[in-house]
Amino acid sequence: MKLPAASSVKVLLLDVGGVLVRPNFDRLAGALSAHGVFANPEAMAAAEPRVKRILDRPPSPGFSTDAERGWHYFNLVLGQAGVPRSAATDAALAEVKAWHDQHCLWEDVLPGVRTGLERLLEAGLRLAAVSNSNGTLRRLFDRLGFTPFFEVILDSQVEGVEKPDPRLFHLALEKLEAPAADALHAGDFYNVDVVGARAAGIRPVLVDEADLYADADCPRVASLAELAAHLVAKASGPVSATLRADR
């Protein structure tokens, strides 16, 4: 499916993990190493999209919230990277989780994100972060220098509601005083971001960096940089031929 016309998008809602940042696998590898476990950060990063695809299903009693999915996710990442679960990996993950609860492990900025955000602002788009997070999102944004890019920053832990509940999307629109028709939401989980955005009457785009959603019934991009290239076209002329607008 094609992306919506750039001229029709005035407000961009952005998921955070998987769109702007990913886990700091170097930090995770260091914690594992301290417990005698070798894990290659590059292998873990390469495994992450496949693991997210495995976990991308409608909410269920087994993993009904982002927090419940989160640490099962890391065990799957380790398994996909060739590191079996053990008492040592459990101990390392417990330490990393304690750090994450205070600071947020999703601190590795994805390629092209800063430039993409700059281009979006220069083109006049209004930005909101809409994230299933753990109460640390504002501190993370301050640390990474992202805060000035966003008019609205919504952390599900703070707001008391998380995607795919449409109320979190509605709250973003209310704070922006913008209609759903002007908005586009980009996120990396179909059953969280696409389903939630549609329930709120907002057009979705799926960030699918590893091209794992060929059958998805929504537009897809590989990165925020690719989406930005499309959305700023209204201000800068034709889109580069490298943009996969048919994704």
Q: How far apart are CA 208 and CA 222, in angstroms?
A: 5
Domain with CATH 3.40.50.1000 in the chain: 6-20+108-236
Predicted confidence band at 241 (pLDDT cuts at 50, 70, 90)?
very low
Domain boundaries for CATH 1.10.150 within the chain = 24-103
* Least confident interval from 29-33, 96-100, 144-148, 231-235: 231-235
Q: pTM for the full model?
A: 0.90
Q: Residue 233's pLDDT is what?
A: 78
Contacts 24+ apart (CB under 8 A), 205-209: 205/3, 207/15, 207/18, 207/19, 208/247, 209/18, 209/49
- What pLDDT, on a 0 to 100 scale, did the predictor assign at position 58? 85
Percent of the chain with pLDDT over 90: 87
Angle separating helix axes 87-103 and 25-34, nearest 10 degrees: 140
Which residues make Cβ contacts (< 8 Å) with residue 145, sequence separation at least 6? 114
pLDDT tens-digit series, residues 10-57: 999 999 999 999 999 999 999 999 999 999 999 999 999 999 999 998
pLDDT score at 243: 35
- 212 in Cβ contact with 235 (< 8 Å): no
Residues near 27 by Cβ (< 8 Å), separated by ≥ 6? 96, 99, 105, 107
- The pLDDT score that the predictor gives to residue 34 is 98
Dump pLDDT digits (tens) for 123-138.
Answer: 999 999 999 999 999 9
Residue 67 CA to residue 78 CA, distance in Å, equals 18
Query: E strands, 38-182, where?
Result: 108-109, 126-131, 152-155
Confidence of residue 98 (pLDDT cuts 50, 70, 90): very high
pLDDT at 2 over 90: yes
Superfamily designation of domain 6-20+108-236: HAD superfamily/HAD-like (3.40.50.1000)
Instruction: Indicate the CATH number for domain 24-103.
Output: 1.10.150
